[in-house]
């Protein structure tokens, strides 16, 4: 059987399904090919959403165990039903999967189940329960990314796992070793620490969270250590072996660690397995990412790519923006993404959020900048809520005062950061933010004060 479409999208993650809907809105006849039963990609099935469900639940557990009594709330007999916690998480995922199915239907996007493979000349073969050949005037590859591992270390899907396993373990590990102090390691390490695991995080570099503003990462390490995470930096893992319920982690120049679970979180790589890229004339760069031009067009005519598979920040909202921009450019000839204002959030407690450049990047680029910082400990709302850790830092051009970057570590940083992204999108100066009235008492006042601190006129510090 063969069916013809204006656009065939391969991969129904945030990049793919959002692009499909936008294309349908703009009048295209669209097919989406996805090899998993559930839609929403890594993000919905095994990434953003399930990890946040576990972060939210484990935070409630920790609050009730350790912090309610400080406020005079006496809870007795709070205990953990891990099966119910996982059921709640799965319920969230399946509700949102249903939502995407409904959106595709509403927009008359046709869904095909199975592995998609490009055959060249606009043809995509779908090998599923009911194999089908699709032709598309245009093809969009949005196949995302998969976890990577280290040489000689093979995840076994049980004791030695990636994030996919670590969001579904049926019991709390006694001792969890996390390899990689990046975003996944810290988010999921935090989940299991809150639930009762001893968590040791091994990191190759001499710092945690590479890419995050150094002052923020240093503060984060201090706070996470106080919470109970154990960091061993500058550590090179050489092998991990599992035997029964025990894992042994070998490192260079250190005694091995024994533990009962290992999470490998050392990054992700583009997913292009058996995709037929060579047949279709689609080239990859030397790291395996699909090469695209400014309009997300690959080296093959009529074939486009967006999201994790083309590299850059591996973030769901970046994939979505690219999906929309790619389709709008394809149909209307115009599109725009300001990569300089895409926010990034790490959903630990406190949260860590940033938009724009950090101090390292500005120094390396030789940009002269000034900076203003305000600590949440001096913010009334943060005090009332008991969330006094962290600060806001605003970086602005020394000559023009234009905001170049905002970095926040603190409760709800992931919500607060959007004020900064919007301000930067409109080319705001730190004075612009400082002169906007912010409601009292709110955490957002810390952003205003940090902007005022750029010109040394913060009131509450």
Q: How far is CA 217 from CA 188, 213, 343, in A?
A: 17, 6, 16
**Count of residues engaged in binding ligand NAI, rule: CB under 6 A:** 25
Find which of ligand NAI, ligand FAD, none residue 267 binds, CB within 5 to 8 Å per kind: ligand NAI
Whole-number Å distance between alpha carbons of 49 and 370: 37
Find which of ligand FAD, ligand NAI, none residue 115 binds, CB within 5 to 8 Å per kind: ligand FAD
Q: Is 336 part of the annotated catalytic residue set?
A: no
- 153 near ligand NAI, rule: CB under 6 A: no
| 68 alpha-carbon distance from chain centroid | 30
Span 306-365, contacts to ligand FAD by CB under 6 A: 307-309, 314-317, 319
- Binder among 89, 109, 160, 163 for ligand FAD (CB under 6 A): 163
- Binder among 114, 256, 267, 276 for ligand NAI (CB under 6 A): 267
Span 43-62, contacts to ligand FAD by CB under 6 A: 43, 47-48, 51
Structure tokens at 140: 């969009």
Structure tokens at 149: 């591992």
Q: Which one from 334, 387, 440, 460 is the annotated catalytic residue?
A: 440
Angle at 300 between CA 294 and CA 305, to 5 degrees: 50
State the number of CA atoms in the 13 A half-sphere of 26 facing the CB: 18
Cα-based torsion angle of the residue sequence 299, 303, 309, 314 in order, rounded to the nearest 10 degrees: 110
Q: Using an 8 Å Cβ cutoff, are 202 and 236 in contact? A: no
- 343 near ligand NAI, rule: CB under 6 A: no
Q: Using an 8 Å Cβ cutoff, are 179 and 239 in contact? A: no
- Which residues, at least 6 apart from 168, have a Cβ–Cβ distance to it below 8 Å? 86
- 390 near ligand FAD, rule: CB under 6 A: no
Q: Considering only 2-10, 136-144, 266-274, 324-332, which stretch makes contact with ligand NAI by CB under 6 A?
A: 266-274
- 190 near ligand FAD, rule: CB under 6 A: no
Whole-number Å distance between alpha carbons of 145 and 314: 8
Q: Which is nearer to ligand FAD, 128 or 256 (CB)?
A: 128
Name the residue number minimizing CB distance to ligand NAI: 182
Q: Tell me which residue has tokens 């030789």.
A: 366
- 161 near ligand FAD, rule: CB under 6 A: no
Find which of ligand NAI, ligand FAD, none residue 113 binds, CB within 5 to 8 Å per kind: none
- 104 near ligand FAD, rule: CB under 6 A: no
Q: Considering only 7-15, 83-91, 135-143, 312-320, which stretch makes contact with ligand NAI by CB under 6 A?
A: 312-320
Structure tokens at 326: 């790619």
- 182 near ligand NAI, rule: CB under 6 A: yes
| Residue 142: exposure state from Cβ atoms within 10 A (0-12, 13-18, ≥19) | buried
Find which of ligand FAD, ligand NAI, none residue 392 binds, CB within 5 to 8 Å per kind: none
Q: Which of 15, 294, 295 is nearest to 143 (CA)?
A: 15
Whole-number Å distance between alpha carbons of 193 and 228: 7
Rg (CA), the chain: 23
Q: Minimum distance between the CB of residue 204 and ligand FAD, rounded to whole angstroms?
A: 19
Span 244-303, contacts to ligand FAD by CB under 6 A: 271, 275
Find which of ligand FAD, ligand NAI, none residue 15 binds, CB within 5 to 8 Å per kind: ligand FAD
For the chain, the residue count is 461
Q: Which of 364, 425, 428, 365 is nearest to 394 (CA)?
A: 428
- 97 near ligand FAD, rule: CB under 6 A: no
Span 14-53, contacts to ligand NAI by CB under 6 A: none
| 292 alpha-carbon distance from chain centroid | 22
Whole-number Å distance between alpha carbons of 248 and 216: 32
Span 234-263, contacts to ligand NAI by CB under 6 A: 237
Catalytic residues: 440
Q: Give the interface with ligand FAD as residue ranges (CB under 6 A).
A: 10-16, 33-36, 41-43, 47-48, 51, 115-116, 142-145, 163, 184, 271, 275, 307-309, 314-317, 319
- List contacts with ligand NAI (CB under 6 A): 150, 179-185, 187, 202-205, 210, 237, 265-268, 313-315, 345-347
């Amino acid at each position: 059987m063969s069916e013809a479409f204006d656009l065939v999208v391969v991969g129904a993650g945030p990049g793919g399904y959002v692009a499909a809907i936008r294309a349908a809105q703009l009048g295209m006849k669209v097919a989406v090919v996805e090899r998993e039963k559930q839609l929403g990609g890594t993000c919905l099935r095994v990434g953003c959403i399930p990890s946040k469900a576990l972060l939210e639940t484990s935070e409630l557990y920790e609050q009730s165990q350790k912090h309610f009594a400080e406020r005079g709330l006496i809870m007795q007999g709070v205990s953990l039903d891990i099966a119910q916690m996982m059921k709640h998480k799965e319920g969230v995922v399946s509700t949102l999967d249903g939502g995407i199915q409904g959106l595709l239907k509403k927009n008359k996007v046709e869904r095909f189940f199975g592995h998609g493979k490009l055959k060249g000349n606009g043809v995509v073969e779908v090998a599923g329960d009911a194999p089908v050949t699709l032709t598309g005037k245009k093809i969009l590859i949005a196949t995302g990314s998969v976890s990577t591992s280290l040489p000689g270390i093979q995840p076994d899907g049980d004791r030695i796992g990636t994030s996919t396993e670590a969001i579904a373990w049926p019991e709390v590990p006694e001792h969890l070793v996390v390899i990689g102090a990046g975003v996944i390691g810290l988010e999921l390490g935090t989940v299991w620490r809150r639930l009762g695991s001893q968590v040791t995080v091994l990191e190759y570099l001499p710092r945690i969270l590479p890419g995050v503003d150094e002052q923020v990462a240093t503060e984060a390490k201090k706070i996470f250590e106080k919470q109970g995470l154990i960091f061993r930096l500058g550590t090179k893992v050489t092998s991990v072996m599992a035997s029964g319920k025990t894992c042994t982690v070998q490192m260079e120049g250190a005694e091995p660690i024994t533990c009962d679970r290992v999470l490998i979180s050392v990054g992700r790589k583009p997913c292009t397995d058996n995709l037929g890229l060579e047949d279709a004339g689609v080239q990859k760069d030397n790291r395996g990412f699909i090469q695209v031009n400014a309009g997300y067009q690959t080296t093959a005519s009529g074939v486009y790519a967006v999201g994790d598979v083309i590299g850059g920040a591996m973030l769901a909202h970046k994939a979505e923006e690219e999906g929309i921009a790619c389709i709008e450019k394809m149909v209307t000839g115009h599109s725009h993404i300001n990569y300089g204002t895409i926010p990034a959030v790490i959903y630990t407690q406190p949260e860590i959020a940033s938009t724009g450049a950090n101090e390292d990047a500005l120094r390396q680029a030789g940009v002269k900048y000034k900076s203003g910082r305000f600590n949440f400990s001096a913010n009334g709302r943060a005090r009332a809520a008991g969330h006094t850790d962290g600060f806001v830092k605003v970086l602005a051009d020394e000559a023009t005062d234009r905001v170049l970057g905002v970095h926040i570590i603190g409760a709800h940083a992931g919500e607060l950061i959007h004020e900064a992204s919007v301000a930067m999108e409109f080319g705001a100066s730190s004075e612009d933010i400082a002169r906007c009235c912010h409601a009292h008492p709110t955490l957002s006042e810390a952003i205003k004060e940090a902007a005022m601190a750029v010109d040394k006129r913060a009131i509450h510090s």
